[in-house]
Each structure stands twice: as structure tokens, then as C-alpha cells.
Amino acid sequence: MGHPTVALVHYHLRRGGVSRVIETASTCLTKAGIPHVILCAAPPEGRHKLPIQIVEELGYDSERGAGASGIRIVRAMRKAVRNAFASGRVIWHFHNHSIGKNRGFSDAAGILAESGEPMVLQYHDFAEDGRPAAYPAIANSETLYPYAPQIVHAFINSRDRQHLLKAGLPEKHTILHPNAITPPARVKPLPRAPRKPLVLYPVRGIRRKNLGELFLLAALAPKGTRFAVSLKPENKPWKPVHDEWVAFASDTGLPVLLDVVGRVAPAPKKQRTFASWVRHSTHFITTSVAEGFGLGFLEPAVIGKPLFGRNLPMVTGDFADHGIHPGRLYDRLLVPESWVGLETLRQNLVRTMQTTLESYGHEMSNQHLDRSFSAMRNKGHLDFGNLPENLQRQVIHRLLAGSEQSEVLAQTGDATQALSQWLAESLDQKNPSVSPEQLGPYTPKAYLKRLKELYDQASNASPEAPAYLTQRKVLCEFLKPGSFHFLRT
């Protein structure tokens, strides 16, 4: 009997992290001779050689009005697989089925679980984790998190896995399945290094990427240093936040360029492509406050660029287990409480937390409020990265108006130093802190090995009727008091 057909299922293949993961998986499976098909609502832009079957019903509900039912989506997916392969067993590999973008998509996973078919449910993001607008779509689902021997739950970081284990998911049905690292662009080094630093943030500028922190760094960077963000958001809810930072850049004159790829060139008479920006950059940066896997921490090493920025222990802890320390990373950027005002902060916290928790069907308790407010304070300082954008801009305006620069600190572990000094030292580094050899656990070869293991686990299991996690338990793991973050609402 040949290998079962693998059906990789996702909403779309637009530029972004999950799409790249699926494209990498498809490349690996093709090289291994494993039959597979990608099911998504629309083909990617430009030319591609991917084995795609279009299932329009998989698109975001917000883009199509009322969504298709789960059973209709299952029928459409089965038909698409038959179009690609006349017959044979199928392993269904869902990506982000539970994120709340399409209720029928989520229900389809539950329907297939009830049918006893082998499945992989791979999580990149969670509606319960800083996505309150998405959560109501799946809030009353009773079949969101099925588990049985033939269903493998794949996690890209240990924290997410632990949350679902604590919510009741049996460990034997789970696997840690980090992404593969492939070069985001292949570039030749410049013949001569640029005279002044050009720091590239190769992301789409959505809210959790914490763009305000780039402006704070730009205000303290050595003269001539430039910062650039590659793309603007596509989702409408994030565009107003991005536009406010575009206006702030214009108002202050700080050297931060937004949405550069395809719009402006990194140097006179040079191309505006992403590869061109990568080639002309001297450093990569990350200021994100939340990531699933954290490609941005490891990709710079593949293309020979040093990285600095904000540490995220929830993802870098997995890298440290392999002896990988991605670059110069701070844990917090500390600004004096007096630059914000505790009463102002508390009022912002009450308003935002109440709205967020209500979206999740939670009431705000005094415990939630007090523990979150206490967690934000740090010996007379606040972490700049956990301030709402209006207060971030207030801090930067104060700095530009002449407040003492030495009062802004970079904290790494228990140690602190003036951020301006830390930044100058970071810009002096010329090489990545990670060698290509250290990235062995994240190569496509290692990724393919894990894919085979999880497909074998799902297809070789004796099917059983699924049980389901209590969704409220999953939500409570992500909403623990003290975990609130302004930029994840």
C-alpha cells in the first residue's frame, strides 16, 4: 500500500509566515515523493509550482459574508482531493483551524475527527491568545479541540503545547514541530559595507510587531542610522494603527521608514525589492511582543546579518535548548513611570482590559486588574513595549523635547544599562551570533523527518471516537491574571 495522500489545508497562501511554512512543507514532500495537495481559497500571487486545489469556502468569513457550513466545506475538500488523486487514503493536515477566521473551517475539523480519519492539527496562533476580535466566531464550538489516537496536535513552540496539556490534552497525542528555516531572500553581499547602519525589520507592520519601539530606538541611535519595516498590514483592523505611525514619522522626522518593499529603494538608483533591502541592510531587528515560532530570530543568521532587539522567552527558550542564542536581545526597555503617569496608565489598563475580557466572555476581576498593573511596574520603571501606542508616543515626544536620555534603560536578565549605550554596542556587531551549523534542528531535512513521523503516527493509529477539550479551560490558560498586554488586544 502506498503512502496516504496528504491534504495541507489553510485559508490562503498570501505572503506571510504560515504560507511560507506550507510552501516549505510542500517542497519537502515533493522531494520525498509523498503525494500531497494544498487546499486553499485562492492561488498565491505570481508564478508558482505548488500542487494547489482551490476550495473557495476556506476563505475568511469576513471576506465572504456568511460562511459555508462545516459539512459543505468537508464535501468541497473531499471533491478537491479527488480532483487531484483518483483514490486512496487521506491524511488531513490543518493549519490554524481554531483561529476564528472561518467557523465552518473549524467545524470541518470536528466533522473529520468524528469520521475517524487521520489528522494533523497544527497550531501557529490562537484566537484565545491576544485575538479578542476573532474569538467570538468560535466561542460556542464544542468540537474545536478533538483528540484521539489518529489525531496529532503539532505545536511550533513549547509554551502553546504546555497550555493545551494543562487544559487536558494527552501528551501522547502531541508533538513539538518547529518550522524549517529557509533563506527569505538570496543576496550577494555588497562590495563595500554601508557607511551608516541600515536596520531592517522584515515583517508586516501589524500591531503586535510593536512599531513604536523602532521610533524609540531611532530617537537614541547614532546619527545617520536608519530603520525600515518591509510591509504594511493587509488586514483592515491594523491599518489605522500603522497609519498613525506613518504620520508620527512625518511629524517627528525620526529615521523610520515604513512599508518600504516595492515603494522606496534602500539607496539611490537601487531596486525597491525585498532582496535589495536585505542586501543593503547592515542589521536585522525584532521588536515584536508576540510570535508563534519566531522565524525572525533565526533567519538573519542564514543570510549573514547580525540581529538585535526584544527577547521573547516563550520562543527563544526552545532555541536555547539547542544552544542557540539568536543575537543581542533585551528583555525590557525601561522608561520612568513619571514619563507616563501611573493614573494615566491605570485608566488605560481598566478601559482596554475590560473591553478585551468582555470579548472573551470574561468579567474583569480585581485580581486581573491588580496583578496586571503590578506586573507592568518595575522598580519605578515601565516596559515601553507594554504601553499602548498613545503612551508610547508620549514617551518619545518627551525624549525628543529634551528629557534625559540616560533614564531610558535596556534590561537583560537582572542587568541594566543606558539604552543609547546598548544600542551603540549592538550596531557595532558585524556578524550573526548563530552559525549555520547550529541551525541543524531547523533545516528542511529535519522538518521532513518530523513530517513523516507525525503522518506515520496519525495513519498507523487505530481510530477511536474523539474526545474534546473543554474550550473554557484552553481560554483560561491564555488569560491568566498578570498576562495582559496592550499590544495584544
Q: Write the pLDDT tens digit of every residue in 283-322.
A: 999 999 999 999 999 999 998 999 999 999 999 999 999 9
Q: What average pLDDT does this structure show over 128-133?
A: 92
Give the residue with greater pLDDT, 235 vs 285. 285
Confidence of residue 452 (pLDDT cuts 50, 70, 90): very high
**Residues 335, 186: Cα–Cα separation, whole Å:** 39
Write down the pLDDT at residue 63.
56
The proportion of the chain whose per-residue pLDDT surpasses 70, expressed as a percent, equals 99
Q: What is the CATH number of domain 5-180+443-479?
A: 3.40.50.2000
Average pLDDT (223-240) is 93
At 88, the pLDDT band (50, 70, 90 cuts) reads: confident
Q: Is the predicted pLDDT of residue 189 greater than 90, yes or no? A: no
Give the architecture-level CATH label for domain 198-436.
3-Layer(aba) Sandwich (3.40)
pLDDT on residue 459: 96
Is pLDDT of 65 > 60? no
Q: What is the mean pLDDT of residues 257-280?
A: 96
CA-CA distance, 178 to 124, in Å (whole number)? 10
Q: Does the pLDDT value for residue 261 go beyond 50?
A: yes
List of E strands, 340-385 = 377-378, 381-383
123-149 average pLDDT score: 94
Instruction: For 30-88, give the DSSP string.
Output: HHHT--EEEEESSPPSS-----EEE-GGGS-GGGTSSPPPHHHHHHHHHHHHHHH-SS-
CB 474 within 8 A of CB 123: no
pLDDT at res. 236:
85
For residue 442, the one-letter residue type is Y
- Residue 103: phi and psi, rounded to 5, are -60, -40
Give dist(CA 250, CA 440) in Å, integer.
43
92 has a pLDDT exceeding 70: yes
pLDDT exceeds 80 at position 207: yes
Mean pLDDT to the nearest integer, 444-453: 96
Mean pLDDT estimate for the chain: 94
Name which of 53-67, 261-275, 368-382, 436-450 the model is least confident about: 53-67
Q: Global pTM? A: 0.92
Give the three cell numbers for residue 259.
Answer: 512599508
Q: Are 122 and 96 a contacting pair, CB within 8 Å?
A: yes
Q: Which three cell numbers stand for residue 85?
A: 488523486
d(CA 365, CA 54): 46
- Count CB atoms within 10 A of the CB of residue 309: 25
Helical spans, DSSP H, in 64-157: 70-84, 103-114
Spatial CA neighbour of 340 closest among 411, 279, 394, 418: 394
Return all residues near 416 (Cβ < 8 A) that are at least 6 apart: 334, 409, 410
Question: What is the distance between the alpha carbons of residues 162 and 432, in angstroms, rounded to a whole number?
Answer: 31
Q: Rounded distance, CA 373 to CA 375, Å?
A: 5
Angstrom distance (rounded) from CA 422 to CA 95: 39
184 pLDDT more than 80: no
Strands 198-204 and 283-286: parallel
What is the per-residue pLDDT for 1?
Answer: 47
Q: Are 296 and 284 in contact (CB under 8 A)?
A: yes
Where residue 108 falls among pLDDT bands split at 50, 70, 90? very high
| 5-180+443-479 shares its CATH topology with 198-436 | yes
* Most confident residue range from 8-17, 164-173, 362-371: 164-173
Over residues 333-347, mean pLDDT: 96
Of the candidates 33, 163, 19, the one whose C-alpha atom is nearest the C-alpha of residue 95 is 19
Asked if 256 and 220 touch (Cβ cutoff 8 Å), the reply is no
- Domains of the chain, by residue range, sit at 5-180+443-479, 198-436
